[in-house]
Amino acid sequence: MNINIDKKSKTPVYLQIVNQLKAQIKRGDIIDGSTLPSERALSKILGVHRNTIIKVYNELKAEGFVESRQGVGYMVSLGTQAGQRVSKVASLGEASVKRISSYPKQVNWTFEIKDEFLDREKAYDNLFQRYSDDSKYALSSGFSMPSVYKKSVIAEDIAEIVAYEGKTQYFYSPYKGDENLRQQIVSFLSTKGIKASIGEIQVVTETNQAIDFIANLLINPGDAVILPEPVSPDTYRTLMLSNAKIYTVPVDENGMDIRALGNLMESVNPKAVFIDSSFHDPTASCIGKEGRKEIVNLSNRLRIPVVEIDAASELVYEGEHITPIKALDTMNNVIYIYSFSLTFAPGLSLAFIVADKEVIRSLSYIVSVRFVATDWMTQKLMAKYLEDGTYYRNIEVFRSNYAEKRDLVCSYLDRLKDCGVEYTKPRGGVYIWCRLPEGVDCKEFVKEAYAKDLLIIPGYIFYPFKNGGRDYVRISYSFEKKEKIEEGMKVFCELIREVSGT
């Protein structure tokens, strides 16, 4: 196989490769029935992106020159498909050729779909979404525990809301969100030291949606943005899809490296800085008081927006209450995203954005373009629970249960210190960032854990450039019952001892 790529040619690279492979197959230079290199191997040989090779092989498959076989890979199939068709077409007249060319053909979807969607990391989604499989020990999902909000009570409350006579019977909420909910959020924010009016609040479904809307509002292709590293795949994938140029700042047990952040903000002049401030996903670290003050100072001095992401500042089990960065923001340069994902009934997804009125007005316009109506029922339910105190009472239940489950996980990890397992016990949140014994690769370890029905998240997927995390896993203790956490951690311990040989 000899492929020459002319990067100055107007012909797309994938099509240059397709044409040369077709010619070599027709001439017999590549023998019918022979196996072609894998996508990854050919991309390395030719020095092109793997997605380019995926397009090549899918185009050759669509034209009948190759076929893919399970366990074998791509094989030349000229004699059985393409060759017969080529010789048959060559023997027909022009009218017949036109008729054959008009036969129905399937769209080459792999070619049509943008590269950034084809190349997405699937491990996180596959492991995260299997939390509902009762046969597994789901220590992967960052969802709230389902037992705090009873199904029967929620059903009764929903029935009461639906039966209420008035404008709410039409099941629509204003684009900024239900007015009563926003009023209740104003009161909720005051408990966190944040002053806001209902005109500075936009209700959304979840954090991912909030980040997507903010990116749509602020970021043009090629704009620089700064993220913590490691960082939630949901955050960096959303920003990658906005074609932002991503820069990262390291996070350790003390939170984001503020000095490195300041230097980077000075040098790249980002369009925005995204910060997971409280019990960061996945490390569960927190930025200290002085660090939070310095972030606000940097934002004010350089006039760079800070987007603060928060879902866990309520979940403090020891030590002082955490004041959000937004509470220190006197210039309205911080956009604050709060999610109820860890403190409300799982599946009833709700979040909100707090920002300058001009930002909220523009975000509301984006919402109006994307949706006919926002989620009416969940908003009404949350407004009721904030107003009658149910939400605040249940926060205490979440704290108590999460603290017990954190201690349970830590008690098992403590037994593995002789194997080389390391971790820092978080004082809140729902994640534990666990370092595996030396030489143990997280990707292979997670595969073996899955085979034993244990779901955990490999550390490498929290690194946008795949340059770290291979010796870490993230353990989440929020969703699963204590009994299943214990069983899952027994599996974890057995597997650690097995792979470490201790």
Secondary-structure class of domain 13-112 per CATH? mainly alpha
Report d(CA 424, CA 432) in Å as an integer: 8
pLDDT score recorded for residue 253: 82
| Conformation bin of residue 137: beta by default, left when phi > 0, alpha when psi is -120 to 50 | beta
Using DSSP bridges, classify how beta strands 457-458 and 472-476 pair: parallel, antiparallel or unpaired. Answer: antiparallel
Report the sign of the C-alpha dihedral through residues 415, 421, 427, 431, in that order.
negative
Q: What is the DSSP string of 164-216?
A: --SGGGG----TT--HHHHHHHHHHHHTTT----GGGEEEES-HHHHHHHHHH
Half-sphere exposure (CA, 13 Å, Cβ side) for 259?
Answer: 2
CATH superfamily of domain region 123-142+393-500: Aspartate Aminotransferase, domain 1 (3.90.1150.10)
For tokens 């185009």, name the residue: 59
Task: For residue 486, give the 3-state DSSP assignment.
Answer: helix
Under 8 Å between Cβ of 413 and 431: no
CA distance 454 to 487: 9
- As a whole number of Å, the end-to-end CA separation of the chain is 49
What are the per-10-residue average pLDDT scores of the chain (502 residues)?
Answer: 86 91 88 87 87 89 85 75 44 49 60 62 54 74 90 92 65 81 97 96 95 96 96 92 94 91 97 96 95 97 97 94 95 97 93 97 91 81 97 97 98 96 96 96 94 94 92 96 96 96 83
3-state DSSP call for residue 474? strand
Task: For domain 151-388, say whether CATH 3.40.640.10 is its number.
Answer: yes
Q: Distance (Å, rounded) from C-alpha 298 to C-alpha 276?
A: 17
| Closest by CA position to 284, among listed 103, 142, 87 | 142
B/e letters for 464-473, b = 16+ CB within 10 Å, e = fewer, are beeebbbbbb
Tokens for 402? 């999460």
| Cα 491 to Cα 441: distance, rounded to the nearest angstrom | 17
From the list 238, 249, 247, 242, the residue with the least C-alpha distance to 268 is 247
pLDDT confidence of residue 105 = 59
d(CA 311, CA 339): 5
Q: Which has the closest alpha carbon to 393: 153, 221, 201, 231?
A: 153
Instruction: Give the model's pLDDT for residue 379.
Output: 94
pLDDT at position 404: 98
Q: With contact defined as beta carbons under 8 Å apart, do 325 and 308 qualify?
A: yes
Q: Which of 230, 265, 228, 223 is nearest to 249 (CA)?
A: 228
**d(C-alpha 300, C-alpha 311), whole Å:** 24
- Dihedral sign for Cα 82, 86, 88, 93, please: positive
CB-based contacts of 113, cutoff 8 Å, min separation 6: none
Domain positions in the chain are 13-112, 123-142+393-500, 151-388
Cβ atoms 134, 483 nearer than 8 A: no
Cβ neighbour number for residue 86 with a 10 Å cutoff? 16
Among residues 40, 32, 111, the alpha carbon closest in space to that of 75 is found at: 32
Q: What was the pLDDT predicted at 69?
A: 80
Distance of alpha carbon 195 from alpha carbon 327, whole angstroms: 7
Burial of 31 (0-12, 13-18, 19+ CB in 10 A): exposed
**What is the pTM for the complete model shown?**
0.80
For residues 202 and 495, give the distance between their C-alpha atoms in angstroms, rounded to a whole number. Answer: 46
